[in-house]
Structure 1
């Protein structure tokens, strides 16, 4: 029998690695461009196939998690994504670089439908564990900017991929040795933890679809663009890649704190009561950030990550509450397929908007998109809580 604390610990580590690995390139591209003789707008699109695979692959990985083994899928995740990071560090042509980044995206697609479903299955308090899991993912985002900046400055961009790849494989070996496959056949499955009136279910689906598309697109665009935005706009404070990474990491810490807070609130209040006030955060901060620089920009960026990361926790909790155990990985697969497919498109959109109007145009565009989040929160129906059965 697996220890819930041990399983959740490894799943949290996987969430950290998942976001860390997907964003190394976003931070490293600043120093990769001069080394490879390519401009930022030319190099960034090579990440697009990987981000598309990040979402598209979740349909298959979620199905395999439900029908085969979530534990086995997570072993493949650790080893595969670690080897892929090493492959990026060894790439010596743009085509090889794009192929290795695509491989990272394919293996990264395993985590969210499989790992998030495992969190729901083993969690005692869903909101708290979702919040903590979100913190680990957020720390992966923050650490990616910080560690990549430091390693890139002192060891070169290749080692910024190779070193975390080696560490990830070692974690995968530890997971494989300490967590066993759990056969769920013949076991009473955990029911949904909340429900709404049947006539109102369409409102839940519509709200989730709107928020997932808007937040996933904005979330990915901001995390990809933030290192470059800081490099351009914080010249009055510093031009050191390592210090810029440290500032970005500090900004993401506020997002992590928000996720933990939102998770705790979701254990006490309904989804609508939490999501409605949160929905008013993103649009104004994105709009203001378009014209800001130096310290005011850092403050606006804090507001942006708090709004974006808080909404991610709400979205994950919504799927976890309204689905039963036997369908949970597939439900998360659909949620992340929609979200990460939209997010993958955002990489090319960031490059296009930056080329045609800089960060002013980009941030204004995403500010307008986030007005839809408010509409989605307004149409959410009231929920009826039910007591969930634990997986035996």
Structure 2
């Protein structure tokens, strides 16, 4: 199916915004390494500041979904882009970890708007949703990889404060593009009678009660566990990789004497994640979603236990480990997004995704504070053993999901494509 003009316009706007959200999101762990030295603070204190911003990234998903229904998704996405850019300029002005925390909180509040609003825009405005969701997911993954890569590279030649300002430029560009973009945000539902109006409080409460007393409760638990593992690994991995003797022992060229090789291994992990998401997306139509979740969770548990032994083996084993970890970490996303489509009725799909991102980015951020505490007061091994236990808990919940009833089948091939393509 060829995309029409309206589909292309929405796709371009949503893809640019999605990439920008994750550009900012994954730059933060690279900055964390710098802030530890710049403000002479412990990793636990820095972790709490980062956790505050990431928590609001998820917690704001539910109210953001309601606001998107009331005021329209385009306005909300534009507000998100402006808010994130201003927040990173605010980072550059921070004189203490408290200023950093305040800027990250502002970033989290505004960034939380994107996923509910962006998904709503695609689902109501695009005819060929499957294709657009696929490209939308690819754009998100590009932002995930390019954000930390650009941050690490710019830090070689610029002060971190100036880097924060430079990183805000794509947000400004995306905002200007969005202001000029013209499209019909309800083109795909105008003829089929679907409602795009705001949900009343009574409907919100009733639908939430129905969701959270059915099989979706297990899906919500699965997604929360994914978030705990995801945040626990990605937040501290740059710092941990940079501290490995195998990487620190490499002498870079004189022109790149400040090169942090661990940051580039981290980027390699994120790039490998793009392949994991693509492969898993293809498998969601062939493998029962609960079984796929369980298998990937077991793999993540094994990888967590393997980090400490592998970290002492040398450069190539560490690089290979990062590639496998990135592949598995992002391979789980199409499965949990497909699970939302399988275990929820179509008329509650938007609210279901709101809860999904609350669990993934909101509750999942608790592992950031926990990880900082374990690294400060215990050992790296303790952190990864804890992550392995979290992954095994997810495998158990996914196994339970195998025997849970599905209220509806996936609504269409587009739904499966959407679940595989979105971040």
The answer for the alignment partner of 2:362 in structure 1 is 341
Please state whether the residue corresponding to 1:281 is helix, strand or coil: helix
Return the match for 1:245 from 255, 263, 274. 263
Return the match for 2:272 from 254, 266, 275. 254
Structure 2 distance, partners of 1:190, 1:222, is 40
Return the match for 2:373 from 345, 352, 357. 352
Return the match for 1:289 from 303, 307, 316. 307
Contact 2:220 2:355 in 1 (8 A): no
The answer for the alignment partner of 2:243 in structure 1 is 232
CA distance 1:314–1:8, change in 2 (3 Å): farther
The answer for the alignment partner of 2:321 in structure 1 is 300
- Measure how far apart 1:143 and its partner are: 2.0
The answer for the alignment partner of 2:396 in structure 1 is 375
Compare 74-83 and 323-332 and name the one that shifted more: 323-332
Return the match for 1:53 from 53, 56, 71. 56
CA distance 1:97–1:182, change in 2 (3 Å): same
- Measure how far apart 1:120 and its partner are: 4.2
* Unaligned segments of structure 1, at least 5 residues: 192-198
- Measure how far apart 1:147 and its partner are: 1.3
Q: Normalization by structure 2: what TM-score?
A: 0.80
Answering whether residue 361 of structure 2 is matched by residue 331 of structure 1, we say no
Please state whether the residue corresponding to 1:291 is helix, strand or coil: helix
CA distance 1:327–1:333, change in 2 (3 Å): same
- Measure how far apart 1:152 and its partner are: 1.4
Q: Normalization by structure 1: what TM-score?
A: 0.86
The number of equivalent residue pairs is 382
* Unaligned segments of structure 2, at least 5 residues: 196-209, 253-257, 416-423
Contact 1:24 1:145 in 2 (8 A): yes
Contact 1:227 1:244 in 2 (8 A): yes
Structure 2 distance, partners of 1:388, 1:187, is 20
Return the match for 1:90 from 76, 93, 98. 93
The answer for the alignment partner of 1:196 in structure 2 is none
* Root-mean-square deviation over aligned CA pairs: 3.0
Answering whether residue 192 of structure 2 is matched by residue 188 of structure 1, we say yes
Structure 2 distance, partners of 1:389, 1:257, is 21
- Give per-residue Cα distances to partners, 1:16-51, cap 9 Å, x unaligned: 222221232310122233233334333332222211
The answer for the alignment partner of 2:81 in structure 1 is 78
Contact 1:152 1:159 in 2 (8 A): no
Structure 2 distance, partners of 1:6, 1:228, is 40
Structure 1 distance, partners of 2:350, 2:186, is 15
